[in-house]
Structure 1
Amino acid sequence: MSESNAIANGLAGAGGGIIAQILTYPLQTVNTRQQTERTLKRNKQSSSSNTITTASSSSSSSGIFLQIFQVIGNEGWGGLYSGLKPSLLGTAASQGIYYFFYQVFKNKAVAIAAARKVKGHGDGTVGMFGWLIVAAIAGSLNVLFTNPIWVLVTRMQTHTQAERKILEEKKEALRKAASESSLAGSTLEEKLEKLNSTKPKPFGTIHAANEVYNEAGIVGFWKGVIPALIMVCNPSIQFMIYESSLKHLRAKRSAKKQGDTSVTALEVFLVGAIAKLGATVTTYPLLVVKSRLQAKQEIGGNNSLRYSGTFDAILKMIRYEGFPGFYKGMSTKIVQSVFAASVLFMVKEELVKAITVIANKSKKVVLNSSS
């Protein structure tokens, strides 16, 4: 029974995750580009202008929807859905793996709590720390299995952005060469015009995989895994708030309605939103570091823009961008993640009910036919 319950939760989690991902993917694309944009601290801009390319103010300060319209204008609707296919695969795998193991360890935690009650320890329910451990174990397994998929998704989401950075560097190099030599006039204009007419090459999943492999080998597919593992505390915090809130809500309702502990889809939606909001605000800096590590590292062709690892990324971000760099795009992420989590929880709970009903009916049919 517990195994079938885990499978039902795994399938429901995958289904809910796919629906939430499709609905919020444009926001996720914009957010990833915001996170991987490098900008200087104001007081170092003049002295280090040759060290790092300063992003335009519009990319960092304009509104979410304005940025979405800018992507549509420059790249078409396809730009908002770069990497959607591997992302859907990643979401299905991630949510399925996570919810399967979450339910498996949740069942074990509940059994341990019940056994402790028999021995006179505790009230038979799993405490907040218990939920934290359950979510952490499930999250760690999920990260190790699915990190390669998210590396590819990040590369595809930021490919156009990276290509534009490289193009700007080439233009700057041309202008510099023109000022130091006889290259000028029509020759310079022709070369600049050629660069301006250059469009990013098609960049699919295979292209992204080849780029990652050529850059760092097999190890490259696990870039960002350290902050990702640390970020396991995000869903841990999320599920701790979620499970504790539902437990409190059911207990309160049970006392008022003589044992009726059911919660509505809207209540699940709201509880899921509150849980995700708390988790996102707490762990956002780690998400930015992870995205930086997984994105193309040769942006600008300068060492200050390349990160050899987690600590190198953190130190360079502090040095060149300051602490505000760790919170780039957080407003976009809050909108995207809270909405996605709310939809996910609501759809997942409804799918679990539907799958359970179908499974029970199937068992009854099998039992009736055998008798």
Structure 2
Amino acid sequence: MSNNSNAVANGLAGAGGGIIAQIITYPLQTVNTRQQTERVAKKGLRNSHGNLPTSKKPPPGTLRQILQVLRTEGWGGLYSGLKPSLFGTAASQGIYYYFYQVFKNKAVAIAAARRDKGRGDGTVGMFSWLVVAAIAGSLNVLFTNPIWVLVTRMQTHTQAERKIMEARRVAILMEGSESGLIDSTLQEKLAELDSEKPCPYGTVHAAREVYNEAGITGFWKGIVPTLIMVCNPSIQFMIYESSLKHLRAKRATNKQGSTNVAAWEVFLLGAIAKLGATVSTYPLLVVKSRLQAKQEIGGNISLRYSGTLDAIIKMIRYEGLPGFYKGMSTKIVQSVFAASVLFMIKEELVKAYMLLAHKSQKVIYSLKK
């Protein structure tokens, strides 16, 4: 198989594996995004103007949150933003794996050329894998960031609407206490507020909202932490490729015959690789989600971020370091499982593609005779 067709095969297999993994783990992703964007003040911070809301109740666990969303919003709440997410996953994985394979082929060719000149053993080192994954990841981010801005908005829409309604309720109660409204008038206003339902929130609505808030640049919100987070798949692929190479080399040394890796082994290597990458880069993921979610929540300045640095400073000031690790356990389960499924399916699809390509070449060759 040629390098170009190899790159195409990896691109298509990556897209297919990504879509399947996304559908399976999407409810966890939705809950995780809501956990990341939930603001709760750190202990000792008074609930005064400009500060975050405080809460005596600890946040519910992931399973309870899933059941809560199902009860109040139905399955649609857990799968809000799925359509653009699937498109984004297909585009993201396709772009990433295509460019990853293209630059991987170049890295292998450079290593072979160095070996021919008497430098090195012809294998690609860890640093080269890191650079290859970083370049592919950066190109992927630049192309697909607008899709993920819309997905984040759609996943957190109900959460944002609830906060806005709570702020309006507080304003009505304060107005009633200050102006001396009679109970019937106050109850009427509260009943009117309760009767309001969140308007349908589709992809077009989300795109219009982003554009009205920040113009075309709004679609690239969170681009700075997202670009920095390119190190996540870089670390992931460095661990994965190095582990895979070590496993194959060990089998070749032990003379076990085939150096092929089984699907369950790929699953396990993918899980280990993603776990290491997720734990090390999670704070950046929280900052990215905060920037991409709806900013105008009430009049509280601590809930709005003008940029990456502003978000980091306000999170440290109002929430402390634990704020950067909100929902990490959910993310670990979701991302590790999704990555494992993705790697396993991708490898099987590439094998199937190569088998079909080989058979088609044999058929063409026999017809030419």
Of 252, 255, 258 in structure 1, the residue corresponding to residue 253 of structure 2 is: 255
1:142 aligns with 2:143: no
Whichever residue aligns with residue 34 of structure 2, its letter is R
**How many Å separate the matches in 1 of 2:127 and 2:213?**
41
1:19 aligns with 2:33: no
1:52 aligns with 2:52: yes
**How many Å separate the matches in 2 of 1:56 and 1:100?**
49
**How many Å separate the matches in 1 of 2:56 and 2:353?**
50
Shift in Å, 1:299:
1.4
**C-alpha contact (below 8 Å) 2:21/2:341 kept by paired residues:** yes
Give TM-score scaled by structure 1 length.
0.97
Give TM-score scaled by structure 2 length.
0.97
1:1-371 to 2 correspondences below 5 Å:
1-46=2-47, 48=48, 51-54=51-54, 57-58=57-58, 60=59, 62-371=60-369
Whichever residue aligns with residue 300 of structure 1, its letter is G
Shift in Å, 1:259:
4.8
> Residues 86-114 of structure 1: CA distance to partner in whole angstroms, max 9, x if unpaired?
00000000000000000000011111111
**How many Å separate the matches in 1 of 2:366 and 2:294?**
59
Shift in Å, 1:182:
2.1
Shift in Å, 1:258:
4.8
**C-alpha contact (below 8 Å) 2:36/2:326 kept by paired residues:** yes
**C-alpha contact (below 8 Å) 1:34/1:328 kept by paired residues:** yes
> Residues 47-94 of structure 1: CA distance to partner in whole angstroms, max 9, x if unpaired?
x36633335735x2x221111000001101110000000000000000
Q: CA RMSD in A?
A: 1.2
Return 5+ residue gaps in structure 2 as ranges. none
Q: Percent identity among equivalent residues? A: 76
> Residues 210-239 of structure 1: CA distance to partner in whole angstroms, max 9, x if unpaired?
000000000000000010000000000000
Runs of 4+ in 1 over 4 A off after TM superposition: none
**How many Å separate the matches in 2 of 1:123 and 1:6?**
24
Whichever residue aligns with residue 193 of structure 1, its letter is A
SS in 2 for 1:257: coil
Shift in Å, 1:366:
2.5
**How many Å separate the matches in 2 of 1:325 and 1:300?**
20
**How many Å separate the matches in 1 of 2:77 and 2:256?**
53
Return 5+ residue gaps in structure 1 as ranges. none
**How many Å separate the matches in 2 of 1:56 and 1:356?**
58
**C-alpha contact (below 8 Å) 2:153/2:292 kept by paired residues:** yes
**C-alpha contact (below 8 Å) 2:50/2:300 kept by paired residues:** no
**How many Å separate the matches in 1 of 2:241 and 2:312?**
33
Whichever residue aligns with residue 139 of structure 1, its letter is G
Give the length in aligned residue pairs: 368
Whichever residue aligns with residue 53 of structure 2, its letter is T
